[in-house]
A and B are shown apart, each in its own frame.
Chain A
Amino acid sequence: NAGVTQTPKFQVLKTGQSMTLQCAQDMNHNSMYWYRQDPGMGLRLIYYSASEGTTDKGEVPNGYNVSRLNKREFSLRLESAAPSQTSVYFCASSESWFKNIQYFGAGTRLSVL
């Protein structure tokens, strides 16, 4: 019962470094999402993918890129990390386009110094 798996769980970067956050789901979901959560706030959508081969911007896409590698995997890349990208990142997937009940991974806590 893995569900949505995110790696790594924790990461510390220096300003300007790059990294890729990995996400994989084993529920055969079509849609996948990346959110960020800043202290004391709700989640904000960065990018999403309705199906393999499609991606689109969410509310806060600047500074990020995504790749939907296949139906299972959706990665988030920070090309040149900035302190403003210090946050907790969540990946989610959903089973149908109608109800869109999204199931979340455990999160990646990222600090950019």
Chain B
Amino acid sequence: AQKITQTQPGMFVQEKEAVTLDCTYDTSDPSYGLFWYKQPSSGEMIFLIYQGSYDQQNATEGRYSLNFQKARKSANLVISASQLGDSAMYFCAMREAGAIQGAQKLVFGQGTRLTINP
């Protein structure tokens, strides 16, 4: 069963506008973590932001914030004041427990390709 769903294959946004990238997840584990990664055309995976399931406040990291709605099982990434350099693939991921105690695996969504237009 798919555990991370990103419903927007591609998005086009004007520079300086805010953009929201959607992510919904499915888990029965009360303790979990949600992550967003950026993959520019050069191919590397860059960590952006983390939200724990017990965190009371939405996570923020500079221009990135995570709109965490636990009851709806959504963890949308908000990028404020978008820049041309924000053009990339964005992946939502969820931490789930591994078979070995202490191991924590990530499950990734299929990604959203964001294009910022000048």
Contact = CB atoms under 8 A, between A and B. Distances in A.
B104 A100 contact: yes
B108 A56 contact: no
Interface residues of A, number: 31
Contacts of B29: none
B68 interface: no
Contact of A100 (B33, B44, B101): B33
Contacts of A104: 37, 44-46
B103 A31 contact: yes
Given A100-B33, A100-B106, A42 B47 contact: no
A113 B101 CA distance: 39
Contacts of B107: 45
A50 B103 contact: yes
Contacts of B108: 42-44
A99 B95 CA distance: 8
Given A31-B103, A99-B33, A100-B104, A50 B98 contact: yes
Nearest to B109: A42
A42 B102 contact: no
A57 B101 CA distance: 14
Q: How large is the interface on B (under 10, 10 to 19, 20 to 34, 35 or more residues)?
A: 20 to 34
Tell me whether chain B's interface is mostly helix, strand or loop, or mixed: strand
B76 interface: no
A89 to B, nearest CB: 11
A97 B103 contact: yes
Interface string B55-84: 000000000000000000000000000000
A101 to B, nearest CB: 6
A106 interface: yes
A63 B98 CA distance: 21
Interface in A86-113: 88, 90, 92, 94, 97-107, 109
Nearest to A50: B103
Contacts of A92: 45
Given A30-B102, A102-B47, A106-B44, 6 more contacts: A33-B106, A43-B45, A50-B103, A90-B45, A97-B102, A104-B44
